[in-house]
Amino acid sequence: MPSYQAPLRDMRFCLYDVFGGDELATLPGWEDFTRDLIDPVLDEAAKLCEEVLHPLNRSGDEEGCAWKEGEVTTPKGFKEAYTLFKDGGWTSIACDPAYGGQGMPAAVNILVEEMICSSNLSFGMYPGLSHGAYVSLAAHGSDELKAAYMPKLVDGTWSGTMCLTEPHCGTDLGLLRTAAIPQEDGSYAITGTKIFISAGEHDLTENILHLVLAKIPGGPKGVKGISLFLVPKFLPDAAGNPGERNAVACGSIEHKMGIKASATCVMNFDGAKGWLIGEPHKGLRAMFAMMNTERLAVGVQGLGIGEASRQNAVIYAKERIQMRSLSGVKAPDKAADPIIVHPDVRRMLLTQKAYMEGCRALAVWVAKALDVSKKHPDPEVRKENDDFVSLMTPIVKALMTDLGSEVANIGVQVFGGHGYIREHGQEQYVRDARIAQIYEGTNGVQSLDLVGRKMPEGAGRLLRRFFHPVSEYVAAKVEDETMGEFVQPLAKAFVRLQQATGQIARTALGRPDEAGAASVDYLRLFGLTALAYLWCLEVEVAKAKIDAGEGDIFYEGKIATARFFMERLLPDTGARFSAIMAGGKSMMTFPDEAF
């Protein structure tokens, strides 16, 4: 059976030591969010995830959800776990206190989300989708809608969904057909079918609030004619409690590769009563408030799954004995040496560690910038941090889910044949991780977003939020005797990133396919460069701790892991750069008939 222990020390190292989490308490309204408050929250989250959610992960996968006559039943133990989760206030942790939330900073919430994803991703989907609905409703809903629905969404009594995809259209939302007919009472009658709706139907909450994209007749064609509506499963009565059943039903649930305890539903709307969120024909803007939140959260799903796989791979590698070390016997009292002595196993374990700890730093970095963008008193500082979050969102989503999936697969490889069978749980991590590269915009779409929207925005304004601090850091540290071995590889990768950016900018104007052909490699090049910068920051902190006499194996391990990343993983930026500079001719001129 797999195990999980929340990596609290590394979480606190990232939050406090690397990114100055204590500064959160200096932002207006967050004076109480000091370590004395944050640390117990992280401790309690770890306890909940380790003792309540993780034990349900495998059983939930094996049982899955059940559909019968439009009703969905979650696996055994999920309803009780959700009640504990809700009653403990975990649904409200990052929500506005005006609606009963705790108002916790994103930099703290993202660590809690990681623990939930590591321990039970399927379970985490239910409150995760609800939080996305909360974000969209909070940003664009009318005062009446927020007063009627937000408190119960925040306290977890009701849950939420995001209904975008239809059978004939996914990414291209301009093709959607769901219709919204205006009614005399100011509501709309919503008719259409949505597919792949996570948490669309379940037995965990009293009511489910569907956020539905639909078109009002007579509106503009394409994405400019999309509006967003709130469609509850049950219409609230005069007292605000679930009343009459709305004309929305779950037609079936999908039989999936992974996250089997998360209900993925076909939802049929048959003249269901709904209310407009935001302005008519501006639904995509309102939905993107939710989608950007979800994309950061999905990136953390990759981190969470990868971390869980990594932990179990380390345990197995220390216990499993096979053959003798190439350099001589290491465990003479045993019939063979533990496989952790073998170079290839060490390569795999270090790859997992370097990627996942780097991604954790990336998540905290972006989350803290999100906090500053919302709370800092200086509008210019808020804008700069908002630009940075916008730039890094597709990178967080795509890089962290790609690496999380890769790390989960490495975990199976460490286990060998035992990883391929169900007994040890490693194969579930591979299956669960795979969807994160697909939903909330495939990683190919994230790459196109990076090169097609984020790169040119404001004549490169967003890019400067990353390029300037990294450039300044390299200039200041590249000749430093204690940091040179780490900063010099970063400097080489950064030069490649700058040159690739220029190449794409030059070719994209006249040949847009060139930017598309380069996009996936460019995002990986950008992401690896970002991780290299973050590993340099972590090394600086670790070295300072050691120099101050506070050193232990944790800090020594940080330095050694950073060295492995720079020597063995960062060189991939060279291959990505070469692919980008080769251009897209070899793929775009290939005859369709020859595939």
174 pLDDT exceeds 80? no
Question: How confident is the model at residue 265, as a pLDDT?
Answer: 98
Phi/psi for 424 (5° steps) reads -90, -10
Interval 337-373: pLDDT, tens: 999 999 999 999 999 999 999 999 999 999 999 999 9
- Percent of the chain topping pLDDT 90: 94
Percent over 70 (pLDDT), the chain? 100
Domain at 158-282: CATH architecture: Beta Barrel (2.40)
Q: What is the pLDDT of residues 483-512, one digit of tens each?
A: 999 999 999 999 999 999 999 999 888 888
Residue 513: pLDDT over 90: yes
Q: For 254-271, what is the mean pLDDT?
A: 98
Q: 146: helix, coil or strand? A: helix
pLDDT score recorded for residue 470: 98
**pLDDT for the residue 173:** 74
Over 80: is that where the pLDDT of 290 sits?
no
Give the pLDDT mean for 176-190. 96
Q: To the nearest whole number, what is the mean pLDDT of the chain?
A: 96
pLDDT of residue 223: 86
Task: Give the domain ranges of the chain.
Answer: 8-140, 158-282, 445-595
Give the mean model confidence (pLDDT) for residues 525-538.
Answer: 98
Rounded Cα gap, residues 495 and 353, in angstroms? 26
For 75-113, b/e burial (b = at least 16 CB within 10 A) is bebbeebbeebbeebbbbbbbeeebbbbebbbbbbbbbb
Q: Is the pLDDT of residue 172 over 90?
A: no
Residue 37 token pair: 């408050």
pLDDT digits (tens, 9 = 90+) for 389-417: 999 999 999 999 999 999 999 999 999 99
What is the pLDDT, as a whole number, of residue 3?
Answer: 96
Distances (CA, A) of 500 to 389, 505, 566: 21, 9, 20
Catalytic residues: 440
Mean pLDDT of the 474-483 span: 95
Contact 11, 111 (CB under 8 A): yes
Q: Does domain 8-140 have CATH number 3.40.190.10?
A: no
**pLDDT score, position 253:** 98
Cβ atoms within 10 Å, residue 186: 9
* pLDDT computed for residue 267 by the predictor: 98
Radius of gyration of the chain (CA): 24
Is the pLDDT confidence value at 222 over 90? no
At residue 432 the predicted structure's pLDDT band, cuts being 50, 70 and 90, is very high
Cβ atoms of 324 and 337 closer than 8 Å: yes
- Please, is 148 exposed, middle or buried when counting C-beta atoms within 10 Å of its C-beta (0-12, 13-18, 19+)? middle
Would you place residue 288 in the very low, low, confident or very high pLDDT band (cuts 50, 70, 90)?
Answer: confident
pLDDT at 284 over 90: no
Task: Please write the tens of the pLDDT for every residue from 111-162.
Answer: 999 999 999 999 999 999 999 999 999 999 999 999 999 999 999 999 999 9
Contacts of 39 by beta carbon, 8 Å cutoff, 6+ apart: 12
- pLDDT at residue number 291: 73
| Residue 109 structure tokens | 């919430």
